[in-house]
């Protein structure tokens, strides 16, 4: 029997550490590491958030050491998740264009939706509504006993 593959959204990835959401951690314990994948969009969102925070703190003249340490940790992301990255291919880009043509909002989420559709994956996210109308399977691990559903 084929095991499902999961595409992890940024909001779930952020919960993967020791201090993460208990429901997310419990769900992650039910799958093997080789069952989930990461899109470059997740890295982009995390990096962009930290870069914005760094700039905000610098403008206020506040200490940026914590953010700089977080950025340094993100430098290891590509190496750490090399075997679980899903590249954004021409096929995925074509699906993104089709989806945006039909309902042009949430471009980053559309990249995840297109990736999931092309690869037959389940998107794991708190923000299920962001994928509504994209005809993809989603799972919200922030709930107790999460279930896959088509949106």
Helices (H) and strands (E) in the chain, counts: 7, 5
| Residue 74: burial class (beta carbons within 10 Å; 0-12, 13-18, 19+) | middle
Q: What is the pLDDT of residue 23?
A: 97
- Paired sense of beta strands 6-8 and 36-38, if any: parallel
Question: At CB < 8 A and 24+ separation, what contacts does 147-151 make?
Answer: 148/4, 148/122
Which one of 1.20.1090.10, 3.50.50.60, 3.20.20.10, 3.40.50.1010 gives the CATH number of domain 6-40+82-150? 3.40.50.1010
Please give the order of strands across the beta sheet that includes 36-38: 36-38, 6-8, 122-124, 137-139, 149-150
Using the predicted structure, report yes or no on whether residue 134 has a pLDDT greater than 90.
yes
| pLDDT value, residue 86 | 95
Tens of pLDDT, residues 17-34: 778 999 999 999 999 999
Give the count of beta carbons closer than 10 Å to the beta carbon of residue 69: 11
For residue range 81-128, list pLDDT tens digits in order.
989 999 999 999 999 999 999 877 788 999 999 999 999 999 999 999
pTM to 2 decimals?
0.92
Q: Tell which wins on pLDDT, 18 or 47.
A: 47
User: Which residue, 112, 105, 106, 123, is CA-closest to 88?
Assistant: 112
The pLDDT, as a whole number, for residue 77 is 84
Where do the structural domains in the chain lie, given as residue ranges?
Answer: 6-40+82-150
CA dihedral (122, 136, 47, 43) positive or negative? positive
Task: Give per-residue pLDDT as tens, 51-86.
Answer: 999 999 999 999 999 999 999 988 888 888 989 999
């Amino acid at each position: 029997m084929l095991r499902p593959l999961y595409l992890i959204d940024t909001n779930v990835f952020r919960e993967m550490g020791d201090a993460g959401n208990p429901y997310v951690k419990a769900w992650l314990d039910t799958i093997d590491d080789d069952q989930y994948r990461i899109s470059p969009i997740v890295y982009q969102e995390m990096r962009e958030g930290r870069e914005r925070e760094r700039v905000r703190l610098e403008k206020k003249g506040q200490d940026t050491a914590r953010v700089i340490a977080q950025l340094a940790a993100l430098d290891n992301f590509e190496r750490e998740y090399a075997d679980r990255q899903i590249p954004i291919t021409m096929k995925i880009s074509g699906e993104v264009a089709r989806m945006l043509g039909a309902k042009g909002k949430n471009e980053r989420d559309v990249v995840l939706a297109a990736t999931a559709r092309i690869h037959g994956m389940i998107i794991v996210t708190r923000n299920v509504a962001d994928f509504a109308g994209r005809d993809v399977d989603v799972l919200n691990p922030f709930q107790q006993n999460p279930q896959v559903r088509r949106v």
